[in-house]
Amino acid sequence: MEFTTKRLIIRRLKVSDLEAVLAHRSDPYTSRYIGKPATLADAQARIAQAQLPWAGKEGERLILAIECKESAKLIGELMFKFVSVDHQCGEIGYRLASQHHGKGYAFEASSALIKEVFTQFELNKLNAICAVDNIASWKLMEKLGMKREGRLRSYMTLPSGTTDCFTYGVLKHEVM
């Protein structure tokens, strides 16, 4: 899968992305609500996983790079996976390098991803999950038209400890 927006190119990760992937995935700031900061081996494994042919099986992640057209630099990642093929339900995720926060890139990339997956796949619903303290993430989900559907207690383990998560969802007819 590859597509563009006004300012971004969304594409598969490449081996040449290693330095940028390591930089944003090892950053304690961008990792604080997602998990432990990545090592070089973690970043290499992420790229290797992203380069495998994607079969669209339940739970299999489609990992995509967010590249800025102007700079031709990787600034973050998107993720899509089927939660249930039979029930036409998927999940999205996103991560942006901290120096690119607050510029609208996450909204631009995520809203385009939502439209792409609803167009390309037989989906009725998309979910997203974030730590309750990750205010920027759940505000982005709301801006994307997603609705808060619940709170998952002690759902995620972070370097700071176990945390609750909010779960959000959007239906195809709400955005298409």
Q: Is residue 22 part of a domain?
A: yes
Q: What is the CATH number of the domain that holds 91?
A: 3.40.630.30
pLDDT mean over 62-72: 97
Q: Residue 160: what pLDDT?
A: 86
Report residue 140 as tokens. 């982005």
User: In which domain, by residue range, is 11 found?
Assistant: 3-126
Q: Residue 159: what pLDDT?
A: 85
pLDDT mean over 18-30: 95
Q: Is residue 150 part of a domain?
A: no
Distance CA 87, CA 63 (A): 22
pLDDT mean over 63-85: 97
pLDDT mean over 8-21: 96
Q: Is residue 97 part of a domain?
A: yes
> What are the CB-based long-range contacts (under 8 Å, 24+) for 103-106?
105/7, 105/8, 105/66, 105/68, 105/75, 105/76, 106/76, 106/140
Domain count, the chain: 1
Q: Is residue 136 part of a domain?
A: no
Q: Buried b vs exposed e over 62-74: b needs ≥16 C-beta within 10 Å?
A: bbbbbbbeeeeeb
Q: Is residue 153 part of a domain?
A: no
Q: Residue 100: what pLDDT?
A: 96
Q: Is residue 155 part of a domain?
A: no
Contact 165, 132 (CB under 8 A): yes
Q: Does position 101 have pLDDT exceeding 90, yes or no?
A: yes
Across the chain, mean pLDDT equals 96
Q: Is residue 101 part of a domain?
A: yes
Edge-to-edge strand list for the sheet holding 147-158: 3-4, 8-12, 62-68, 73-84, 89-96, 125-131, 161-171, 147-158
pLDDT per residue as tens digits for the range 124-160: 999 999 999 999 999 999 999 999 999 999 999 998 8
Which residues on adjacent β-strands are paired with residue 165? 131, 152
Q: Is residue 85 part of a domain?
A: yes
Q: Residue 171: what pLDDT?
A: 98
Q: Residue 12: what pLDDT?
A: 95
pLDDT mean over 16-27: 96
Contact 12, 48 (CB under 8 A): no
